[in-house]
Amino acid sequence: MILVDTDMLSAMAKIDRLPLLLALFHTAELYVTPGVFIELAHSFNLGRQYAIEVFALLTTGQLQVVYLTSEEVAFRESLPTTLGAGERESLAVVRVRGGAVLSNESRVAHYCHQYGIPCLRIPDILRALWVEGIVSKEEVQDIVRDLQMKDRMQFKPSILEAIFAEER
């Protein structure tokens, strides 16, 4: 099960590359928690274009809301409130059911590491896209430029080197 947070969905939607996540994970659907859905609905109601793109995936079933079990709710409640509701819910679902969290938030990655939960961030995804042959290395360079321009994302030189390093 691949749980995606708002930040990851918004970044990929802003650059019109949401379908790449489905292709990379060889899946017909990705999942969000109710907390992420609420954040997305707020942006949708404000008329933000990226949220409209994300909601299109919800209507086709490629993005689905997954509801928490009582065990997952208990774990969510043990996590610090410095994490957003959607982030805590995503961690809880993946910890109980397995899978991975897609988030570009460093604090989410920290707690994922602490609890042994797989977490992929944008650099991991960008590297995997070309290494797995989903897109070319040149297309990933275009994606990086688009993220920088449309999502104001910044990449340290060392991160760019890691994304584009030849296979080890």
The domains of the chain are located at 2-121, 123-164
pLDDT of residue 92: 97
What is 2-121's CATH superfamily?
5'-nuclease (3.40.50.1010)
Mind giving me the DSSP string for 86-148?
HHHHHHHHHHHH--EEE---HHHHHHHHHHT--EE-HHHHHHHHHHTTSS-HHHHHHHHHHHH
pTM: 0.93
pLDDT of residue 42: 95
pLDDT of residue 44: 94
Report the alpha-carbon distance of residue 151 to residue 14 in Å, rounded. 7
Please calculate the CA angle 20-140-160 and round it to the nearest 5 degrees.
125
pLDDT of residue 95: 96
Residues in the chain with pLDDT values less than 70: 168
pLDDT of residue 77: 96
pLDDT of residue 168: 58
